[in-house]
Chains A and B, each alone.
Chain A
């Protein structure tokens, strides 16, 4: 131990800490604030204030549990897609900054800031339904200029209206009976097949003309469409609008949807992406009839639309001459790898008979949360102040090191949370705040363990430099072992527990890591530095390291080089000490030289010889008598 094998460079460590764990993250955060600032339309942006969870910001939290009606298993992909659908439903209903996340094994937590009415909840928790419907007609997603265009197709100047009106007029030539709007609603339309354009009654046409797919209100989907009736709807992205015939194949008949590179006719893998569909026997039969019929029809009626939640996901047309008999269909087109995978996921989700049970619905008022946070912070600050007072009382000037380490740890925690709320959408919740406040105790304990070890070494009579070195060696092991337990608890709880427990576990784990970093890269290097400062090195009374306070006041103490120091007797020796036996070194009881110093072996032998000689003289004298 006398010569450290590795030279420690405390200054370098501290500077590295400052750069790596404080300046760099803080710089990143500042850059984030400048270039990707958080605002109402960019809720995931960076901000100097950490994102607050709903419990501190107010809102409504709805926990949904997906339930399959046929008892089949819910795959993670299906759950992801379900979350996407819910997000789409909420976002399109005009609520921004909604939090939708998977929780635990299969629950979906929906947190919506502000008040939520029953309609929204019904909208969110409704089942997603995928259906295959034949396309009757489609057009651009903007409303037709004149709402009356359908009544008088020729008067319309809008080319869209022309296009939409044309097929209905030409192909069947029998829209006349429904020309009177008043009769439409009640008069049952007798359609020969689902692609029959007779289904486009004047009312349907009016609805279609008025439909504006650029309005988000019309893109929330929500299903609820009558499978036996015509559906007027928009495509998912709002670019097109459709009139669709009755449902021909149910989404639940789809057994599998996957994306992959398209396999050409002679079995060669081509370079284009495609989505492959597989139907069950019922679906195969139904799909076959559909394709047989669609094959004979002109565009756009040779297309079938896949609707999810009433919105058109995709409306592929049949290649000429193809009749799908084996229940294996392939959708190809201008897919990229991602868009093909997305569509396949959407299709697999839609094919699940999935509904959502509202597990719990809780209104969290913002004022209550912020009040609680304020009070918690005030109370925590008072507690922290007491910690400062206590450590100054216990460790004197050394207590300042504890306080500054705590401040650094707090700073790092703050920056980490702000960064994490930017990077991965972490939001600070009330249990999280509690976790941070509790962490003060854990963090301070590392310093206490360390300082107590140093004091132990000083009590053994070592100099401060050696005491710091040896104390660190012993404290490091204890600190790491204890922090490992903390980290295990944080990780296990984070992965196994749910909700608030997770937020708590996350902050606990975060503060544990920060704590270790601070002890290793700040507290210890600073301790090494101040052990060279005369104030501490020489053990000033106010330094918290004074030998007088730390050494045994009575009894001998080995000080090296064969010498044992006997300290001055304590003035205020405790009462119990009288009953306690004095600690005595094993072996020969120490013999003191006249000046109080313990004698060396040679001196002791000389003294013994003198004593023997004196004894011999005395004996001789006795004999002479």
Chain B
């Protein structure tokens, strides 16, 4: 019966019979997001992102097919060639070892390769791979990615402002997006995994997903508030709150469906199978999608309402509705009517002429 009650819950949310006061409680959500953002900034500032070799530059050796993944062997092998170096050794999968060192000369590289092969008792030609990565490369990617982000956000902001015909909506979406990225980066820093180009790709996807989700939710808000000024029953905030409640089922379903494959890659692929490249991207995606979906509901919409209520027309309308409601209460109107209006259940859209085609036709 779980399915039935979920559907029932969806019905109640749609009709406004059950309503979560997301928009009215906005200060609480702003506080939560503020706290998380400050925590993220602190983590990023104090601990920092664990930048991978791609961003710092250096040499990386991969020893595969080893019988033991003891990390001390690799440290000793590297230090026998470059005594002052403090290599970072990571186990990849079950039988390969990744050794990262500072930048080495070709000669040193060959020696380290040989030393590693000897230490692990594997063949140097087939089992020990080496890579040189210049630090400027990572910087180049990061700079290009940053430019891509700036241009992309600007283009999408213009698109949203045009589509919704309200620049405040795109401002709210962009602010929520920045919070999403900040919190995702904070979580990533807290986990302490290495930041690789895959992570960056993951963050770029979050950007796309987060905005995508906000467009879907805002579209419902737009739909619910189209004729808001032409009626005096409910305020903008109430209509927006109804919209968030009505899209709650969609948001949950989409969030779950988007998270499932990523969770599969993260938990099954990353932890059980040891897929390194996919681990980075899937963690950033997992956190990002979860945060993005939640922020569309708890941050973006309340923020949007807060901004929109500063719009003179909407502010005047809200005031008018609240006054007339106060008047009704004074006149002793039924509480039920008022509550229903506030929940937005009685959704009234003024009728209009549908054209002669909609008129009954004479039979021939």
Contact = CB atoms under 8 A, between A and B. Distances in A.
A441 B292 CA distance: 13
B163 A452 contact: no
Contacts of B191: none
Contacts, number: 290
Contacts of A87: none
A380 B262 CA distance: 7
B45 interface: no
B53 to A, nearest CB: 10
Interface in B179-219: 197-198, 200-201, 204-205, 207-209, 211-212, 215-216, 219
Nearest to A505: B204
A556 B159 CA distance: 41
A482 B216 contact: yes
Contacts of B163: 481, 484
A19 B276 CA distance: 40
A552 B11 contact: yes
B218 to A, nearest CB: 9
Nearest to B223: A474
Interface stretch (B13-21, B69-77, B297-305, B315-323): B13-21
Nearest to B14: A459
Contact of A584 (B93, B276, B340, B354): B340
Given A367-B64, A497-B148, A379 B257 contact: no
Interface stretch (A6-14, A94-102, A429-437): A429-437
Contacts of A371: 93, 275
B165 to A, nearest CB: 12
Nearest to A439: B261
Given A362-B133, A497-B144, A583-B17, A484 B159 contact: yes
Nearest to A487: B208
Nearest to B5: A572
Interface residues of A, number: 92
Max count, chain B CB within 10 A of own CB: residue among A5, A381, A497:
A497
What is the interface residue range for chain B against chain A?
A: 35 or more
Nearest to A484: B159
Given A63-B137, A445-B257, A549-B8, A477 B269 contact: no
B161 interface: no
A448 B247 CA distance: 11
A76 B223 CA distance: 49
Contacts of B262: 383, 437-438, 441
Interface string A374-403: 011011111110110011011010000000
A44 interface: no
Given A384-B260, A386-B264, A459-B15, 14 more contacts: A1-B354, A379-B265, A379-B275, A383-B265, A383-B268, A387-B261, A394-B6, A431-B281, A481-B219, A482-B216, A484-B159, A549-B8, A552-B15, A583-B346
Closest 3 CB pairs of A and B: A441-B258, A383-B264, A383-B261
29 contacts: A1-B358, A360-B137, A362-B133, A368-B62, A368-B64, A383-B268, A387-B257, A390-B253, A390-B257, A394-B253, A438-B205, A440-B258, A441-B258, A441-B262, A442-B258, A444-B257, A449-B216, A456-B14, A485-B156, A486-B208, A489-B204, A489-B207, A496-B147, A501-B145, A554-B17, A576-B18, A583-B16, A583-B340, A584-B340
